[in-house]
Structure 1
């Protein structure tokens, strides 16, 4: 199994400085129409989703990058006009503290590296956006929150679904209960993965497998659909292809129990394609299918309502919402505490599956 150090060396995170950066005095009380965003990690999600989305945002813009791959820099500069002074590697990242062009540092690294670099980002005095899942452990999540509080910067976790309008309807209904008391919730997400390849997501240390990668969508979906927190969990791991899924689980099935008798079932799997979030209530039901998708999130209700509000780009909506929270000094929609709660449940799921018994949360 690869460890964090070998991953960092392999991807070039120990490369030296690329340029001599001018020093600036950062003013915390700035007034800007748009916030400058610096992406940390230029993998697929940054390259194909976040960077293009930043071309569509109204309240933030791509201003800088942190990368351990120098060969990527010319491509990004040609494509997005990023200035030399806004290019960093993992050793020079501290210098962002002196750069007034950058207001937000967005951590888009493997999950096992989130805590280290989110804390590093907070210590520059810039606001921190951290991709989901927040971190590998509750302890790491708490350390990120502590660092952001200490440095008086805002922290947001990249749960784009909570910014999506049809999902926001379900969040509203968790409080208004238009179909009466919620009795059960189901949240399942999976893909028919024949060969996952040697990816960091399937590395136990760096990614943790599907329960971290997409399982947190099921957990988070249950929590925002019920509007409450579970008190216990029972879980089971299944692996029908141990020759492929050598370090992580192929399928995880879990049940969350709540104080009012409500129960929720969740699943994440690499053995089948499934993508549904459904609430059964005393006077009907409603669902999103798919509930987790970059496009095409839609749903329906037992009385024929359609949940099909369309937005052009989920990532752009997410980043604009978070930028406005900073510019207007308002509470973040998905703060660090939200990411921490999901990781606490992930840890309990893994413990329950290991013990073969229920775990109290």
Structure 2
């Protein structure tokens, strides 16, 4: 397997193009509602595998429309123009995309490029006066993330992060049960996120472009999942790194990290982030009165799981379609998402990642 994109695609049946399947819970509880007929006109920056997945999913969107592209590869731009009907005036490269400032047909840019490029690209988009959606992790550290948040606020534009699981119905089914007290006092969360990475020359194993290794790719799912599943912000972190292949995983590029989080209520989380083991996509939440188990928990779909009350029954959807429609509502109408997806949310994850790396370095506890 070459990347997280390949992993989540192969581990689970792709949900792209799937209709909503049978369920016993009302759709209205999970899918976004729309207050107007306006559409968010989006340009995608970065036309790789995940950018293509988002573009395909957006063909089914009601509130978001793909209208532009930004890429350093002219041949990809031509292919996307033909496939998605994108006019020449909405096509840019990485050198000239600041000119979108003068293009009234683009409302927002979805940045889907290597992590190390997010900071500068997001700030440039904000200064061009366009709303920004940025893939996760939002930056390579919290300091960069905070600069991005400030730049977007100063420009008066929205900064959202591509947390597709925050809109995924079965994830929300578990979160709603926890919020309603159906699991009782939360005691423990486990998050396992990992796959065996392939090509050693890819950007995900380049410290400058990725910002790290598995933690900056697949590991963020367990970090973010711990927060929305437990429903609290952690107050301490401990972590341990294992590196069996220092040739492939060079200095600053983590292969496997186990990390633990402590929460104000006394709940704890035990998580694993790795590029060295396959089939790790599992969440487990334990409370005094019940539990939830999800496997796959963050793949592209379908998400599967059960609680002490039975199987999860919320609808199966195309994650990116629901995400983009919901984000259109946030940007156009100020709608509130079920779980935050703003830049501040992204910074919270980055602070935890910073603390995990520090905990590995000092072999001790880091207070958040």
TM-score by length of 1: 0.88
Could you tell me which of 336, 344, 349 is aligned with 1:337? Answer: 344
Partner of 2:263: 258
Q: Which has the larger radius of gyration?
A: 1
Instruction: Write out aligned runs for 1:1-361 (5 A).
Output: 33-47=38-52, 49-193=53-197, 195-207=198-210, 208-247=212-251, 248-272=253-277, 273-303=279-309, 305-331=310-336, 333-361=340-368
> How many residues were matched structurally?
328
How large is the RMSD of aligned CA atoms in angstroms? 1.4
Asked if the contact 1:298–1:308 (Cα under 8 Å) also holds between the matched residues in 2, the reply is: no
* Cα deviation code 1:23-73 (max 9, x no counterpart): xxxxxxxx97212100111111112x0110111111011100111111222
Q: Report the TM-score, using the length of structure 2 for normalisation.
A: 0.86
Provide the C-alpha distance between the structure 2 equivalents of 1:60 and 1:274, rounded to a whole number of angstroms. 32
* Structure 2 portions without partners, runs of 5+: 1-35
* Higher RCO, Cα 8 Å, sep 6+: 2
Q: Deviations over 1:243-291 (max 9, x none)?
A: 3222412111001011221111111112222111111111221111111
How far apart are the structure 1 equivalents of 2:120 and 2:239?
A: 29
Asked if the contact 1:161/1:167 (under 8 Å) is kept, the reply is yes
Q: Using the alignment, how far apart are the partners of 2:163 and 2:199 within structure 1?
A: 23
Does the 8 Å contact 2:37/2:63 carry over to 1? no
CA contact 2:193–2:222 (8 Å) conserved in 1: yes
- Residue 32 of structure 2 aligns with which residue? none
